[in-house]
């Protein structure tokens, strides 16, 4: 039997909504400030590989980068229930921004012994970072684009498609290391990944 909600409960629920919105806005603002601070320190050369490992600028950079990643990916993981998003997002962000700031850029090609590890680390960081950014966007887009409920809320699909975007970003790094990075090569790789995803959508059952 339907039971009307007491006035006290209705009032608390109405009051909770603006509070939750304020919390979201506060976290988003803090995340934006941290991202802006980290990118400003990176672009303006406040941090570089010639500094000691315990330099104050490095410590501040580390804290801002980790804070930006946590404030970005942890709330999204909790809201959308995308298990592992925060771990991959923080790892990818920290590894990518650390590499850009402190690892000497490669001068040779991918198979050159001194530069091969740098390309490998960059490819891994790029894969994690872009996959983590794409996953919540693809999951939200699926809720709007798909009509079947099973496909709309299929987190496995969103994760797979995000990994495909991550692979595309990593393969661009690999193509650059092989000195074969051209628009045609990128388009061909994207087409191959797109065809593979169409096959997955056609034959793989959505997560129930």
The residue extents of the domains of the chain are 7-203
Residue bearing the bigger pLDDT, 141 or 162: 162
15-24, 60-69, 101-110, 163-172: least confidently modelled range: 15-24
Write the CA distances from 42 to 34, 71, 120, 128, 208, integer angstroms.
12, 19, 21, 20, 44
Instruction: Show the tokens assigned to 95.
Output: 């590894």
Per residue in 50-89, pLDDT (tens digit) is 888 889 999 999 999 999 999 999 999 998 889 999 999 9
pLDDT at 95 over 60: yes
111's tokens: 């198979």
Q: Is the pLDDT of residue 208 over 50?
A: yes
């Amino acid at each position: 039997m339907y039971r009307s909600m007491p006035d006290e409960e209705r009032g608390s629920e109405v009051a909770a909504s603006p509070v939750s919105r304020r919390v979201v806005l506060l976290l988003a603002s803090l995340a934006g400030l941290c991202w802006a601070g980290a990118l400003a320190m990176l672009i303006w050369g406040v941090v570089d590989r010639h500094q000691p490992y315990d330099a104050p600028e490095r410590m501040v950079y580390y804290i801002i980068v980790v804070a930006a990643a946590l404030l970005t990916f942890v709330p999204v993981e909790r809201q959308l229930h995308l298990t592992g998003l925060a771990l991959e997002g923080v790892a990818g962000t920290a590894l990518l921004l650390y590499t850009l700031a402190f690892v000497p850029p490669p001068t040779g090609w991918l198979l050159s012994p001194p530069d091969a590890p740098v390309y490998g680390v960059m490819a891994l960081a790029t894969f994690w970072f872009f996959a983590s950014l794409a996953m919540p966007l693809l999951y939200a887009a699926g809720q709007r684009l798909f009509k079947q409920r099973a496909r709309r809320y299929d987190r496995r699909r969103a994760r797979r498609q995000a990994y495909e975007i991550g692979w595309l970003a990593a393969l661009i790094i690999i193509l650059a290391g092989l000195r074969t990075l051209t628009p045609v090569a990128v388009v061909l790789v994207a087409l191959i990944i797109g065809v593979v995803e169409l096959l997955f959508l056609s034959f793989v059952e959505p997560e129930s």
